[in-house]
A and B are shown apart, each in its own frame.
Chain A
Amino acid sequence: MTYHFDFGVLLPYWSQLLNGCALTLWLGAISTLIGLSIGLLTVVAKRSQFAALRAVATGYIEAIRNTPFLVQVFFIFFGLPTVGIALQPWPAAIAALSLNLGAFSAEIIRGGIEAVPRGQFEAGAALGLSPLKTFRYIVIKPALRTIFPALSGQFVLLLLTTSIVSSISAEELTSVAQNIDSATFRSFEVYIVTTLLYLAMSMLFAVMFKAIARVWFSYPTK
């Protein structure tokens, strides 16, 4: 082994790296908001009485779930401008991440709603509650309890996926790291530090979500 590690060269770049983390978190937060809304709409479409709407929702979910995120990003960033929809890197990244999360969260949310026993919906109807009220007062809490772990896991996954948008030069932590790499030629050190920053962020969120789950959703389930 003749390689000499030199993490010192990274010191002048620490504020850039932190800025990269902030950009990544922003990207994750915005995409989560839009993505969850898309996911909810998709669930509504998927449970609707119109076959055409159901087919569109299924087609969207399966298309996203069975193709790589990289190809989705390239399709949106490089492909769509040829039909007149030209997006800058950041908006393109947000569009791709949101559409991706929309499809995955739709399946999770639907699973949660379907896990609530039918009898609970029927009991709500028997009490004279409207479907909306049944949903609001009976179904939503157990459904949220079921889906929360999967949904929060999906958020962490989204945060890690944001690294891929560096390939369309959208600015976030990985693209910041690539810039530092080409300025210092210390690839290994740069990417180790960057990887550990991602690890710190995902572990922080994992701990936070676990605490939230304990506070909000912890009454005896059975």
Chain B
Amino acid sequence: MSGFPIPPNRKPTLIREFGWAEVWTIVLGIQATIVLSLVAFTGGGIGGLLVAVARTAPVRSLRALAGGFIDFFQGTPMLLQLFLVFYGLPVLGLKVNVWVAAAVGLTLHASAFLGEIWRGGIQAVPGGQSEAAHALGLNYFARMRFVVLPQALRLSFAPTVGFLVQLIKGTSLAAIIGFVELSRAAQLVSSITYKPLLAFGFAGLCYFTICFPLSRMSARFEKRYSIKT
């Protein structure tokens, strides 16, 4: 395992100081973390919408399928989901790099979780809304598009932002399959400087700087439009 500290009396001579170059390496890692989070969140947003609509569809088999998809991703570790994509895509005959594997894995994960969050939102919209739209002659797609989804998404804004925080933290697991982002950069810096406390402490601070404002925003919105059941 890289990054394991070597006892002081056996330190090799080629140890780098923890200087600006090392700080910069970690800061560059933030970029990859943010891009990966945005890709997964966007992909998961599209997938999640499909999952949420399928989960509340008037077709029984569609509901069961979406339910199974959600249960699988909520009931298994995210790390194993990444492993399955990473080792599974080659099985399908596709060549993968870690970027694609991490993006696909996180997108599927986000689709399931956002799907479940938005399913809750859709079901929290009073049934009368959908019935009224029906009475006005709107078909299923128009009812969803113009009446139910806009309200459902607004109701689920707080948990959606809360999940974004989870997803950003989750991107750190891509480091384990070798994707260089914030955590992996900290690991690399830790192993060349032998200052793991500083490297991981600084990485933690970087994550905190990104996640804390989002968490606060989520908490504020939760107070404002909490779903009343």
Contact = CB atoms under 8 A, between A and B. Distances in A.
A88 interface: no
A70 B80 contact: no
A78 B80 contact: no
Interface in A164-220: 164, 166-169, 174, 187-188, 191-192, 194-195, 198-199, 202-203, 206
* Main SS at interface, chain B: helix
Contacts of A3: 90-93
B190 A78 contact: yes
Contact of B197 (A82, A169, A194, A203): A82
A198 B84 contact: no
B176 A167 contact: yes
Contacts of A164: 77, 79, 173, 176
B203 A191 contact: no
Contact of A174 (B75, B80, B93, B197): B80
Contacts of B195: 82
A221 B162 CA distance: 28
Interface residues of A, number: 43
B99 interface: no
A187 B196 CA distance: 31
A75 B173 contact: no
B3 interface: yes
B79 A163 contact: yes
A68 B170 contact: yes
A71 interface: yes
Interface string B166-186: 000111110110000001001
Interface string B61-101: 00000000001101111111101100110111100000000
Contacts of B3: 74, 78
Contact of B80 (A66, A74, A163, A169): A163
A188 B91 contact: yes
B221 interface: no
Given A160-B78, A161-B77, A67 B183 contact: no
Contacts, number: 133
A192 B84 contact: yes
A9 interface: no
Given A75-B197, A78-B190, A2 B93 contact: yes
Interface in B99-117: none
A79 interface: yes
Interface string B1-34: 1011100000000000000000000000000000
A83 interface: yes
Given A71-B183, A71-B204, A194 B92 contact: no
Given A79-B201, A83-B197, A63 B208 contact: yes
Contact of B77 (A65, A81, A160, A206): A160
B211 interface: yes
The 4 closest A-B pairs by CB, nearest first: A68-B172, A163-B77, A79-B197, A78-B196
Interface of B: 1, 3-5, 71-72, 74-81, 83-84, 87-88, 90-93, 165, 169-173, 175-176, 183, 186-187, 190, 195-197, 199-201, 203-204, 207-208, 211-212, 215
